Chain A
Amino acid sequence: MINLKVNGISVSVPDGSTILQAAKAANVEIPTLCYLSGVNCAGSCRMCVVEATGARGLVAACVYPAAEGMEVQTNTAKCRRSRKMTLELLLSSHKKKCLSCERSRTCELQRLCLEYGADEDKFDAEKPNTPLDTSSPFMIRDNDKCINCRRCVAACKNLQAVEAIGAIGRGYAVHIGSAFERPVIESPCVGCGQCIVACPTGALIEKSDVDKVWKAISDPDKKVVFFTAPSVRATLGEEFDYPVGTNVEGKMVAAIRRLGNVEVYNMDVTADLTILEEANELIDRVVNKKKPLPMFTSCCPGWIKFVEHNYPDMLDNLSSCKSPQQMFGAVLKTYYCEKNGIDPKDLFVVSVIPCTAKKFEVTRSEFDYDVDVAITTRELAKMIRTAGINFSELPAEKYDDPFRIATGGGAIFGATGGVMEAALRTAAHILDGKCELVDFKEVRGTEPIKEATYNVAGVTVKVAVASGLANARRIMDAIKSGEKDYMFVEIMACPGGCVNGGGQPSLPDSVRNWTDLKTLRARALYNYDEASEYRKSHDSPVVKMLYDEYFGAPNSHKAHEVLHTSYVPREKY
């Protein structure tokens, strides 16, 4: 342990701690901007500068090691002056359209400027006037709001090993973008949105589809249906000041219902349906050996695009199941429309998802707009605010029938390991009808890579689970080299799974640096699972109804037509 003083307060911190960590232990906040725990630690923005004995000049607290006997001062006139100057220099070339900026409430630069009384017109540098990159269906890059902190670059490289973006050029001309200045849609970007949630300003935002939804709601010829992804119930509350990890499903359903004349459905239903299709596909691969093992899950569109760019020779290893979002859209535009005599053209389907890659997914030519638009948790919160709905005062309401009831297995799809666990529950049942196994705790938790081996009805099932594409790459390379031979692998692109998706609420670094968001949010889903009436996807009465009335059996011809898809190889660069 190291003993030191921060602003006169004595603290002991573990060896290897930084001044920033020591200050936190002393309950002293040091402002940060380029630092993001577990993502970026460059010490380059100079916001976290402090005075420390033994150090020459001001030092960056996020990287400077704490030392025995050190005395740190974080709030001297020198520190404040330096931070204010840093902010004013950043503002000198910043596009200050703060009133209409999507990040106006949540911008870290804005908050710090207020705290330090920075003058936005102190220096007047040349404004670059860079055109927006609106090339993709999932995000907008506005480099005139970029402060070159490189948190997005670090997220893309360190968390995701995608490296679709980097710093380009030098000096004043330096900017963030894809190699050869290509628009993001022409890069190997997978659309995961981890750069968006890492961005401290409004330089990166999702491409909003909110206007399309309002337009459909006010169109008397359209029937509008919403469905919400498993993890949104665990995160939407953060937009309305609930503690991280609060399940607000009831209020969320009530809020959506008050947006207009809409139906609200539970996407966990098609998570359950995915499990039935996927578990049967896995068993078919093991028994009939027509398609290769290991089989990879296919729920995550960021992961799908990653495989298409980086491992095009392994597309056959991906389960052919559509993602729950696309299954829901397909079920609505076939079964539901046929049953209720609705022309699919008049049905407007909105999915609420924690994800920006799903905005890309709805535009894939394979799907023909089964889902009309996908909006993120953040966009839903914005709609709720626009509609003047007092979220915290809402009653808890239930989803609409017929897509109301789902299982706990469907709900845990929102966390890393959840798809695997739900699939194992059902696979165990298919292989051995008497199997009562429900909890597969080895695949739970937010460790980067989890492995387990189960013996189900005499079959040895070797599985692996990874989240964060950097970890996915490790697994893929181990499989390709023959070092690992799994039967079934679950990958979610975002670290921790959908609960930590690129469409989730943007929490500032002051929260993210000290809170394990993915664990707290996932806990809400596992608690939900434990309290659910049905735990196993095959027990879902709605899934049974869908097979009885429409699909016949899992992997039937009809099921293949509506619920399965195919993939395309894409360029590596």
Chain B
Amino acid sequence: MEGNVPAFEGTAEQAAALRKVIEERKTQPGCLMRVLQEAQDIYGYLPKEVQIMIADGLGISLSEVYGVATFYTQFSLMPKGRHRISLCLGTACYVKGADKILEALEEKLGIKCGECTPDGLFSLDSCRCVGACGLAPVMMIDDDVHGKLTVEMLDGILDSYREGK
């Protein structure tokens, strides 16, 4: 797995919720996907500790759990930040220079795509088309759309979230 995963900080309530999900689902054939989805809803991501609880609970191997968790892009092995940046790398954004924006974001935040800053403020992911190609290149931060991006604009946008917008 790439990048550094921060220490796991699951609560007893989260563990109890996951155990309940496993108990409800474990007799259903092919339940692993649903359990992983619900586990991600509970924890926000799928760290090793959670995958081990799932493997133990469902009586399957950790290799199988990890294989499925790494196959689907919907699952994240990294925690998400308080503000989730999602940069579009779809065709229109890409030809308008989204790759340069990604490079600049990685540099400014000091993380790679898919990771979360150590202070937990920002996580950076890429996506494929948010349906706003006229604004390309575009990114979403939480539910806000930021369009017609240039590298120069990025500091100002990030700062507005740092100030607790």
Residue numbers of A with Cβ under 8 A of B are 153, 157, 163-170, 178-181, 573
Chain B residues with Cβ below 8 Å from A164 are: 63
Q: Is residue B141 contacting chain A, with contact meaning CB distance below 8 A?
A: no
Q: A165-B63, A167-B71 are in contact. List 20 more A-B contacts (CB 8 A).
A: A163-B61, A163-B64, A164-B63, A166-B64, A166-B67, A168-B67, A168-B70, A169-B70, A169-B71, A170-B70, A170-B72, A178-B63, A179-B62, A179-B63, A179-B65, A179-B67, A180-B1, A180-B48, A180-B66, A573-B55
3 nearest CB pairs, A to B: A166-B63, A163-B61, A179-B66
A–B pairs, 21, beta carbons within 8 Å: A163-B62, A163-B64, A165-B63, A166-B61, A166-B63, A166-B66, A166-B67, A167-B67, A167-B71, A168-B70, A169-B70, A169-B71, A170-B72, A179-B51, A179-B62, A179-B65, A179-B66, A180-B1, A180-B48, A181-B1, A573-B55
User: Within 8 Å CB of B67, what residues of A?
Assistant: 166-168, 179
Q: Tell me which residues across on chain B come within 8 A of A166, comparing CB atoms.
A: 61, 63-64, 66-67
Chain A residues in 8 Å Cβ range of B149: none
Residues of A within 8 Å of B64, CB to CB, are 163, 166
- For A163, A165, A169, the residue with the greatest tally of chain B CB atoms inside 10 Å of its CB is A163
CB of A157 within 8 A of CB of B61, answer: yes
The minimal Cβ–Cβ distance linking B2 to chain A, given in whole angstroms, is 9
Find the A residue at minimum CB distance from B61.
A163
Main secondary structure of the interface of B (DSSP, over half): helix
Set of chain B residues within 8 Å of A165, measured between Cβ atoms: 63
Q: When the two chains form their complex, are residues A573 and B62 in contact, meaning their CB atoms are under 8 A apart?
A: yes
What residues on A are CB-neighbors of B63 within 8 Å? 153, 163-166, 178-179
Chain A contacts for B113, CB-based, 8 A: none
B52 in contact (CB, < 8 A):
yes
A178 — which chain B residues lie within 8 A by C-beta? 63
Taking the closest CB of chain A, its distance from the CB of B60, in whole angstroms, is 8
Contacts of B62 in A (CB 8 A): 163, 179, 573
Interface Cβ pair total, 8 Å cutoff: 39
Q: Point out the residues of chain A lying under 8 angstroms from B66, CB to CB.
A: 166, 168, 179-180
A contact residues around B61 at 8 Å (CB): 157, 163, 166
CB distance from B132 to the nearest CB of A (A): 27
Residues of A within 8 A of B51 (CB): 179
Kindly list chain B residues whose C-beta atoms are within 8 Å of the C-beta of A167. 67, 71
With A and B bound together, what is the CA distance between A179 and B64 in angstroms? Answer: 8
Please measure, in the bound complex, the distance between the C-alpha atom of A168 and the C-alpha atom of B65, giving whole angstroms. Answer: 10
Chain A residue at minimal CB-CB distance from B48: A180
Central interface residue in B48, B61, B65, by most chain A CB within 10 Å: B61
**In-complex Cβ contact of A170 among B1, B52, B65, B71 (8 A):** B71
* Beta-carbon nearest neighbor of A171 in chain B: B71
Docked pose: A152 CA to B52 CA in angstroms:
23
Q: Mark B28-63, 1 if CB is under 8 A from A, else 0.
A: 000000000000000000001001100100000111
Contact assessment for B52 and A573 in the assembled complex, using a CB-CB cutoff below 8 Å: yes
Using Cβ atoms and an 8 Å threshold, which residues of chain B touch A163?
61-64
Per-position 1/0 for B80-95, Cβ under 8 A of A:
0000000000000000
A165 to B62, CA, bound (A): 9
Residues from chain A with Cβ under 8 Å of B72 in the complex: 170
User: Which residues of chain B come closer than 8 Å to A157, judged between CB atoms?
Assistant: 61
Docked Cα-Cα span, A157 to B51, in Å, equals 19
Compute how far the CA of A178 lies from the CA of B52 in the bound complex, rounded to whole angstroms: 13
Query: Of all chain B residues, which has the CB nearest A181?
Result: B1
User: How far does the Cβ of A162 sit from chain B's closest Cβ, in whole Å?
Assistant: 8
Q: Which residue of A lies closest to B68 (CB)?
A: A166
The chain A residue sitting closest to B66, CB to CB, is A179
Taking CB atoms, residues of chain B closer than 8 Å to A181 are: 1
Q: A148 to B67, alpha carbons, bound, how many Å?
A: 14
Q: How near does chain A come to B1, taking the closest CB pair, in angstroms?
A: 5
Residues of A within 8 A of B71 (CB): 167, 169-170
Nearest-CB residue, chain A, relative to B2: A181
- Bits for B91-132, please: 1 = Cβ < 8 Å to A, else 0: 000000000000000000000000000000000000000000
Q: How far is the CA of A164 from the CA of B65 in the complex (A)?
A: 12
Chain B residues within 8 Å of A168, by CB = 66-67, 70
Taking the closest CB of chain A, its distance from the CB of B99, in whole angstroms, is: 17
B63 closest partner in A (C-beta): A166
Q: How far is the CA of A164 from the CA of B61 in the complex (A)?
A: 8
Residues from chain A with a CB closer than 8 A to the CB of B52 are 573
Residues in A with CB closer than 8 Å to B48 are 179-180
